[in-house]
C-alpha cells in the first residue's frame, strides 16, 4: 500500500499530516492546493488512509495491513467518499453537496473511527455549492474530515478558506523529478520541462507530439548565444509548426529556462542567472501578446529575437 514515504517531496506537509495523526489532532477540513500533477490528489488519498488506519504498534500510518487499510486498497471503504460532479457535468453544484455529503455527514461512521470526504477537483465547486458546504464546515461532527484539492485557494470564498487548513504544494526541485524518472526507467530530460511536477513529466512522456516540441526547444537553446537576426527569424518561421498549440511550446520553453535559472542561482552564477531571467520575461511577453490575440508570426519573430538578445 502506498504510504507517505513513497511520495516525492512536500516534506513539510507530509510531516504535518503524520504528526497530526500521531497526536490525534486533525483539523476538520484541509485545502490542498498546487498545479496539475503536483501530487495533491495522491497526498489526499494517503492522508485519508492514514487517518482511517487502525494500525497499532507505533509505526507511521497507514500500516497497510489493518482492516481499514485493506478496505482502502480494495476501494471498498464505507467511510470514504469522493465528492464529484454528477451526470457528466463539469461543476459541483448545491445538489451534489446535498446528495453526496448531506445526510451522510450526520450519520455515524459505518465501520471505522472517521468519515472522510475528499473533493478531488475542488476547483469545480460553484460559489453556491461552497456556501452549502460552508454550513457543514461550520459545525461538523467530530468524526468528519474534509479534504479538498484545488489548483488555487483564491477560487474559494474567504469564509470557506478560513475554515480549512491551507496546505500549498510547491513545485518539486528538478533533481527530485529527475530521480523519480530515473527510478521509473524514463528519460530524466523530461524534468527540465515539467515545472517541478512529476505528473506533468508523466503526461509529457505520454504525449507523442511533445518529443517534437522538446527537440525544437533544444534547438532554440543551442543557438541562443550565437544566433544572428536571420537565424532567429528562421527559428520563428519553424515555430509555425506549433501554431496549433502555442501554449505547449511556450510552457516548455518557460520550464526549460526556469530550470536553468534555478540551477544558476543555486551555484551563485549571477550573469547566466540574469540571462535566464531575461529569457523568461521574453516568454511571458509572448504569452501575454498571444492572450491579446496578437499575430502568431509577429509574436514568434519578437520572441526568437528576444531570446537571442537581439
- pLDDT tens digits for 222-243? 887 777 888 889 989 989 988 8
pLDDT at site 17: 94
Angstrom distances, CA of residue 166 to CA of 45, 119, 154, 230, 273: 16, 14, 11, 50, 32
pLDDT bracket for residue 185 (50, 70, 90): confident
CA–CA dist 91, 202 (Å, integer):
26
Alpha carbons 230 and 212: distance in angstroms, whole number:
22
Cα 128 from Cα 125, distance rounded (Å)? 8
When pLDDT is cut at 50, 70 and 90, the band that residue 95 belongs to is very high
Mean pLDDT confidence for 29-39? 90
Whether the Cβ atoms of residue 254 and residue 280 lie closer than 8 Å to each other? yes
The mean pLDDT value for 131-144 works out to: 92
Residue 186's pLDDT is 83
Q: Write out pLDDT tens, residues 193-212.
A: 787 888 888 877 777 777 78
Contact 25, 68 (CB under 8 A): no
pLDDT of residue 231: 87
Neighbour count for residue 27 (Cβ, 10 Å): 15
Are residues 28 and 144 in contact, defined by beta-carbon separation less than 8 angstroms? yes
* Beta bridge partners of residue 165, listed in sequence order: 30
| pLDDT, mean of residues 160-168 | 94
Question: What is the homologous superfamily of the domain 4-168 according to CATH?
Answer: P-loop containing nucleotide triphosphate hydrolases (3.40.50.300)
pLDDT at 1: 67
Indicate the pLDDT class of residue 257, thresholds 50, 70 and 90. Answer: confident
Going from the C-alpha of 212 to that of each of 204, 243, 286, 310, the distances in angstroms are 11, 13, 20, 25
Tell me which residue of 265, 224, 182, 128 sits closest to 8, measured CA to CA: 182
pLDDT of residue 83: 94
Average pLDDT over residues 39-47: 93
How many residues can be counted in the chain?
310
- 198 and 177 in contact (C-beta within 8 Å)? yes
Q: Max alpha carbon distance in the chain (Å)?
A: 72
Query: Is the CB of residue 54 less than 8 Å from the CB of residue 66?
Result: yes
Per-residue pLDDT at 57 exceeds 70: no
Does the pTM surpass 0.85? The reply is no
Average pLDDT along the chain: 88
**pLDDT for 45 beyond 90:** yes
The C-alpha atoms of residue 103 and residue 110 are separated, in whole angstroms, by 13
- pLDDT above 70 coverage of the chain, percent: 99
- Is a pLDDT exceeding 70 seen at residue 262? yes
Handedness of CA 125, 130, 132, 137 (dihedral sign): positive
User: Are the beta carbons of 198 and 37 closer than 8 angstroms?
Assistant: yes
Amino acid at each position: 500500500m502506498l504510504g507517505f514515504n513513497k511520495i516525492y517531496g512536500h516534506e513539510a506537509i507530509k510531516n504535518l499530516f503524520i504528526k497530526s495523526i500521531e497526536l490525534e489532532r486533525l483539523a476538520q477540513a484541509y485545502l490542498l492546493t498546487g498545479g496539475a500533477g503536483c501530487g495533491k490528489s495522491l497526498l489526499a488519498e494517503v492522508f485519508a488512509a492514514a487517518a482511517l488506519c487502525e494500525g497499532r504498534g507505533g509505526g507511521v500510518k497507514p500500516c497497510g495491513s489493518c482492516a481499514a487499510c485493506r478496505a482502502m486498497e480494495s476501494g471498498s471503504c464505507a467511510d470514504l467518499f469522493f465528492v464529484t460532479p454528477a451526470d457528466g457535468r463539469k461543476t459541483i453544484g448545491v445538489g451534489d453537496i446535498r446528495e453526496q455529503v448531506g445526510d451522510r455527514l450526520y450519520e455515524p461512521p459505518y465501520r471505522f473511527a472517521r468519515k472522510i470526504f475528499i473533493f478531488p477537483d475542488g476547483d469545480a465547486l460553484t460559489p453556491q455549492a461552497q456556501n452549502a458546504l460552508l454550513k457543514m464546515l461550520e459545525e461538523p461532527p467530530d468524526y468528519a474530515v474534509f479534504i479538498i484539492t484545488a489548483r488555487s485557494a483564491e477560487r474559494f470564498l474567504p469564509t470557506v478558506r478560513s475554515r480549512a487548513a491551507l496546505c500549498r504544494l510547491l513545485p518539486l526541485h528538478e533533481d527530485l523529478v529527475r530521480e523519480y524518472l530515473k527510478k521509473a526507467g524514463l528519460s530524466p530530460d523530461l524534468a527540465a520541462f515539467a515545472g517541478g511536477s512529476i505528473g506533468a513529466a508523466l503526461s509529457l512522456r505520454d504525449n507523442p507530439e511533445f518529443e517534437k516540441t522538446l527537440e525544437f526547444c533544444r534547438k532554440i537553446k543551442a543557438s541562443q548565444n550565437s544566433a544572428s537576426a536571420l537565424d532567429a527569424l528562421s527559428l520563428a518561421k519553424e515555430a509555425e509548426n506549433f501554431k496549433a498549440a502555442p501554449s505547449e511550446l511556450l510552457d516548455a520553453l518557460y520550464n526549460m529556462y526556469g530550470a536553468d535559472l534555478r540551477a544558476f542561482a543555486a551555484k551563485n552564477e549571477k550573469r547566466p542567472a540574469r540571462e535566464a531571467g531575461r529569457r523568461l520575461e521574453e516568454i511571458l511577453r509572448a504569452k501575454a501578446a498571444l492572450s491579446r490575440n496578437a499575430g502568431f508570426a509577429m509574436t514568434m519573430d519578437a520572441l526568437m529575437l528576444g531570446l537571442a538578445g537581439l
